[in-house]
Amino acid sequence: MSLITSTSPHATVKNNTGAFMRQVIYATLPGLAVLTWQFGWGSVINVLWAVIVALVSEALFLKARGRNIAFYLKDYSAVVTAVLLGLALPPTAPWWLTLIGVSFAIIVAKQLYGGLGMNPFNPAMVGYVLLLISFPVAMTQWLSPGEPLSFVQSWQLFTGQLPVDGLSGATPLDTFRTAHSAGAVSESELASHGILHGQFAGLGWEWVNLAFLLGGLYLISRKIITWHIPLGFLAGLGLPALLAWLIDPVRFADPLFQLFSGGAMLGAFFIATDPVSAATSRMGRLIYALLIGLLIWVIRSFGGYPDAVAFSVLLLNLSAPFIDYYTQPRTYGHKSSNRGVS
């Protein structure tokens, strides 16, 4: 009888990283559905195209690195990156924009650092920021919510056959920002922008964010993520927004508007929670997410960009190791937790 010899434990949970990642992908489906409902098929096309680009890039570089391609593709990490970036891109994005962004995210931000688990920055956000800086116009051409394009229109936009100019419209965050940058703003002027006034937040976008919130809660319920990062993120964004709005409701957007606009919920539950590039201890994750939220609020309110999830996440990715060093939990039997580098 040939016996297996191994070290304890001999039983392990019937789970793997691929299943973990697939859960994340499933959780994005409500958000994707709402995006399609509000803006047409652009996001779906983006996500599918992004997944193809990601898998091909990943496979090429796994081969170049001499790794088992099937084994590593099965961890679904490249798919998650592609889905998140595809969701973040405007539904008007042409094919090359996605190609550049996703291939850069997979090849440079992930594989060149050593593949899954070794990347210091969130690959999807690296790709997003690359595109945002390189192609600012293409990256800000969103559609008017509630007026979804047909699949043909979306496909023509994707292939570049249809010019974007006639179709594009501003997002609520863009509108709010443009209104304030024009000069003095009165309450009535703000009221004139219908897009700013949906049921409880920006028109259309409130439903997108609500869908991502639901997907995020699913992830928490499945213990794929913990509550620390989403809560920290939303608190970091919502609390300053609340304070500022109480002080000056005209100058500052209200907290619900902040929380349910742009990439807030996608960022809180799907982007900032990327475990590889985030802080790892519970307290560290809370601090990490709080600072992301705060940065988003600061950039939205005072910075040059209408949204700021990608920049904030990348900035805090930089700080994650530092945060980890100072947020070690108190180990059983120790009076206090260890701090800093050994």
Partner 1 sequence: MSQAQTNKTRKTRSVFARLASGIRRPASIHDFHGGIHPPEMKHLSNGTPIVPGPLPQQLVLPLNMHIGAPAKPLVAPGDKVLKGQMIAEPIGAVSAAIHAPTSGTVSAIGPRPIQHPSGMDAVCIVIDTDGEDQWVEHQGIADYTEKSPAELVDLIRHAGIAGMGGAGFPTSIKVNLGDHQRVEQLLINAVECEPYITADDRLMRERAEQIVTGIHILQYLLNPRRTLIGIEDNKPEAISAIKRACKGCDIEVRVVPTKYPSGGEKQLIQLLTGKEVASGQLPAQVGVVCQNVGTAYAIKRAVCDGEPLVSRVTTLTGDGVSQPGNYEVLLGTPVRDLLAHGNLAGLDIGRLVMGGPMMGFTLHNPGVPVVKTTNCIIAASPEELPEPPPEQPCIRCGSCAEVCPANLLPQQLYWHAKNDDLEKAQHHNLMDCIECGACAYVCPSHIPLVQYYRYAKGEVRQQAADQVKADKARQRFEARQARIEQEQAEKEARRQARLEANRKKKEAGPAAASTVDVAALKQASLDASKAYKAAVKAAKAAEAEGADNLAELKAEVDRLKAVADKAKAAVRDAKDGAPVAAAPAEDAVAKLKKQVGDASSAYKAAVKAAKAAEAEGADNVAELKAQADTLKANADALKAELREAKTNAPAAAAPVAQADPVAELKKQVGDASSAYKAAVKAARQADEDGADNAADLRAEADRLKAVADQLKADLRDAKANAPASPAPTSPSTATAEEQPDPVAALKKQVGDASLAYKAAVKAAKQADEDGADNAADLHSEVARLKAIADQLKAELRDAKAAAPPTPKAAPAATATTDSPAVSEEQAPQSLSEVDPEQAAKRQKRLKGLKTAYNMAHKQYKEAHAAYERAERNETANADELQAMQVKIDKLKAKADNARDALDALVEEAKADIRAHTGKDLKTLKLEAARAESALADKQQELEQQRSSASEDTLEALSSELQALESETQIARKALKQAVEEQGLAE
**Closer by beta carbon to partner 1, 13 or else 133:** 13
Query: 196 near 190, Cβ under 8 Å?
Result: yes
Query: 72 near 21, Cβ under 8 Å?
Result: no
**Minimum gap (Å) between residue 64 Cβ and partner 1:** 17
User: Encoding tokens for residue 287?
Assistant: 């601090």
Does position 11 bind partner 1 by CB under 8 A? yes
**Minimum gap (Å) between residue 232 Cβ and partner 1:** 14
Member of 46, 281, 312, 317 binding partner 1 (CB under 8 A): 281
**Minimum gap (Å) between residue 214 Cβ and partner 1:** 22
For the window 115-154, what string marks contact with partner 1 as x by the rule CB under 8 A? xxxx------------------------------------
User: Encoding tokens for residue 50?
Assistant: 């992004």
Does position 75 bind partner 1 by CB under 8 A? yes
Which burial class, exposed, middle or buried, applies to 89 when counting CB atoms under 10 A from its CB (0-12, 13-18, 19+)?
Answer: buried
Site for partner 1 in 167-196 (CB under 8 A): none
Interface stretch with partner 1, choices 6-14, 49-57, 182-190, 302-310 (CB under 8 A): 6-14
Task: Give me the DSSP letters along 184-230.
Answer: ---HHHHHH-GGG-SSSSSTTHHHHHHHHHHHHHHHHHTTSS-SHHH
Residue appearing with tokens 């998650």: 80
Member of 182, 184, 247, 341 binding partner 1 (CB under 8 A): 341
Query: 256 near 273, Cβ under 8 Å?
Result: no
Other Cβ atoms within 10 Å of 151 Cβ, number: 14
Does position 338 bind partner 1 by CB under 8 A? yes
What would the 3-class secondary structure string for 77-96 be? HHHHHHHHHHHHCCCCCCHH
**Closer by beta carbon to partner 1, 37 or else 326:** 326
Does position 70 bind partner 1 by CB under 8 A? no
Nearest Cα to Cα of residue 254 among 242, 267, 268, 270 = 242
Q: Where do contacts with partner 1 occur on this chain (CB under 8 A)?
A: 1, 3-13, 15-17, 19-20, 71, 75, 77, 115-118, 223, 226, 275-276, 278, 280-283, 285, 324, 327-338, 341-342
